[in-house]
Each structure stands twice: as structure tokens, then as C-alpha cells.
Amino acid sequence: MASAFIRVAQFFAAIAVCLLAGLVGSVFTTPAIPTWYAALAKPALTPPAWLFGPVWTVLFILMGIALYLVWSKGWGQKNVQVAMAIFAVQLVLNVLWSYLFFGLQAPFFALIEIVLLWVAILMTIGAFYRVSIPAAALLVPYLLWVTFAAYLTYGIYALNP
């Protein structure tokens, strides 16, 4: 069993990895918000731009806690390794969406990519469920938000030919 120091370090490392992904995504997002994004026609129910940052911060923290709960079950277990690998893929896809949508300003490609992200999150929830039910539950708000983000992405694509 890992020492208390190791467990605490893993906890903060897991959260830091997820927040770092958010930070990388924000490199593409932040400059485009007041310019390109502000000029787009947006679908009904689009929240104010200032809301996205706090929501994503909470989601990245929940993702980090979920990652820690899986990691704490022991890296030597095959189901932990598989779950963490799937998690890594969805985290990369998360950052990629920001690059495609905001960086390249390509809503069509971001729409295709967010479908892949949604599937990857669902796969992550399934893999986490086999290791830690609470970890899987912590990812449900993320899946719901990405479902909403897919609606917004589609709406922006459709309204801005």
C-alpha cells in the first residue's frame, strides 16, 4: 500500500494533469473569445462566454479526482492501466477540440471530433466503472457538459455557413 505522502502526491498530480489539459486548451480558446467567437451566430441556450471557464475548471477537477480514484487502485492492475489509457485518449481529444474549434476556427471538424470525444468519455466511464464506481460517477457531469457542447458546436456550425 502506498504511503500517505504518495497518495497525496498522486491526488494532486492527477488533478494537475487535468488542469494542465484545460490550460493547454485555453491557449487556443482565450484569444478567439473576444474576436472570432463573439462574432458568431449562436444557438439558443448558449451560455455567456464567462461561464465556460468556471464550468470547465470544476469539470477538470472532477476528472482529476476520478483519475486519482482509479490510479489509487494500483498501477499494476490491468484494468487500471486500460482505464488510464482510455482516459488519456479522451483528455487529448478534449484539448484537440479547443484547437479545432477555436484555434483553427473550424466548427465542422470540431463537430466530428466532439462526437469522438463523447464516445471516448463514455468508454472512459465504462472503464472507470470496472475499477471504481465513484470515479465513473464523477465523470457523468463531464459527459453531460460535452453533450451540451456538442449541441452548441452543431448549432454554431449550422448557423455560420
| Separation between Cα atoms, residue 9 and residue 114, nearest integer Å | 32
The dihedral through the CA atoms of 25, 116, 107, 58 has a sign that is: negative
| Separation between Cα atoms, residue 131 and residue 97, nearest integer Å | 27
Q: Which of 77, 32, 86, 26 is nearest to 56 (CA)?
A: 26
Contact 150, 114 (CB under 8 A): yes
**Is residue 26 scored above 80 in pLDDT?**
yes
Q: What is the pLDDT of residues 112-158, one digit of tens each?
A: 999 999 999 999 999 999 999 999 999 999 999 999 999 999 999 99
Helix (H) or strand (E) holding 95: helix 78-98
Give the global pTM.
0.96
Q: What is the pLDDT of residues 79-112, one digit of tens each?
A: 999 999 999 999 999 999 999 999 999 999 999 9
C-alpha Rg value of the chain to the nearest Å: 17
Cβ neighbours around 133 below 10 Å, total: 11
Tell me the CATH class for 4-159: mainly alpha
Domain boundaries, the chain: 4-159
| Separation between Cα atoms, residue 74 and residue 118, nearest integer Å | 27
Q: What is the pLDDT of residues 30-54, one digit of tens each?
A: 999 999 999 999 999 999 999 999 9
Q: What is the pLDDT of residues 9-20, one digit of tens each?
A: 999 999 999 999
Q: Hunting for cell 479526482 — which residue is that?
A: 65
